[in-house]
Amino acid sequence: MALSAEREQDRKKYGWEETREAEASALRAAMSLFPTGVTIVTTGRGEAAEGMTANAVISVSLDPLLFLVSVHKGARLNQRIKEESYYAVNLLAVDQEGLSRLFASPERSCGLAAINALNDGYGRTGAPLAAGALAAIECELEAVYPGGDHDLFLGRVVAIHMGDTRKGPLVFHEGSYPSLKVAPRLGDSGAFVDTVRGFDARLNRIRPKKRR
């Protein structure tokens, strides 16, 4: 529905540059402005292994622990999760852009070649884990909900693996992988000065008194 010229003017006043028709390209353009982490969702063992880069993942519930991934109906992984009834969500670290690109490619290998690329064997469910990931969340499939051209796989979390959490996350934004600006640590701001003062004070307190 076209907006009246008057309404359009109103929007401009509040900083909206343009209102687009509700179509795929517009939603894609809007969501490209929303930075996300990047995961590789995996399932299957040996020659049946499959993995795919995904950022449509949500931690849904803490009681019970439920997790959701949205997978295109045409993606190889979709059918494989339905067959295996479990999956792992590997949260990628900043140095894993190559892995993200590989598992987003339609030409990528499945089976043992995929396992070799991930390089870390299997988790408790049997889903492949990615070596060097920040964390991996393993799920048993609870339900599959239709989501248009995607299926929503709701899983019960059964294992959580923590990797080297000192590495930063891989971030996807506007179609590429920008590096995060490192936020100043508390120590670089005034707060550190206070800490030092506190430390000094404590030092003063325990410093042995000079003999007279």
Ligand X SMILES: Cc1cc2nc3c(=O)[nH]c(=O)nc-3n(C[C@H](O)[C@H](O)[C@H](O)COP(=O)(O)O)c2cc1C
| Per-position x/- string for 12-51, each x denoting binding to ligand X as judged by CB under 6 A, each - no binding | --------------------------x-------------
130 makes contact with ligand X (CB under 6 A):
no
Cβ closest to ligand X, residue 53 vs residue 125:
53
Q: Distance between CA 150 and CA 65 in Å, rounded?
A: 22
Nearest approach, Cβ of 65 to ligand X (angstroms)?
A: 20
91 makes contact with ligand X (CB under 6 A):
no
Question: Could you tell me which stretch among 27-35, 54-62, 121-129, 198-206 binds ligand X (CB under 6 A)?
Answer: 54-62
Candidates 76, 82, 156, 161; binder of ligand X (CB under 6 A) is 76
Cβ closest to ligand X, residue 85 vs residue 109:
109
146 makes contact with ligand X (CB under 6 A):
no
Question: Could you tell me which stretch among 13-21, 52-60, 132-140, 185-193 binds ligand X (CB under 6 A)?
Answer: 52-60
Q: What is the DSSP string of the chain?
A: -PPPHHHHHHHHHTT------SSHHHHHHHHTTS-EE-EEEEE--GGG-EEEEE--EEEEEETTEEEEEEEETTSHHHHHHHHH-EEEEEE-BTT-HHHHHHHT-TT---HHHHHHHHEEEE-SSS-EEETT-SEEEEEEEEEEEEETTEEEEEEEEEEEEE--TTSPBPEEBTTB-PPPPPPPPGGGSHHHHHHHHHHHHHHHHHSPPPP-
Candidates 42, 55, 96, 125; binder of ligand X (CB under 6 A) is 55
Residues 95-124 that bind ligand X (CB under 6 A): 100, 104, 106
Which residue sits closest to ligand X, CB atoms considered? 56
170 makes contact with ligand X (CB under 6 A):
no
Q: How far is CA 66 from CA 36, 70, 137, 139, 143, in A?
A: 19, 14, 10, 8, 11
Kindly list the residues in this chain that would bind ligand X in the complex (CB under 6 A): 38, 52-56, 70-72, 74-76, 100, 104, 106, 150, 172
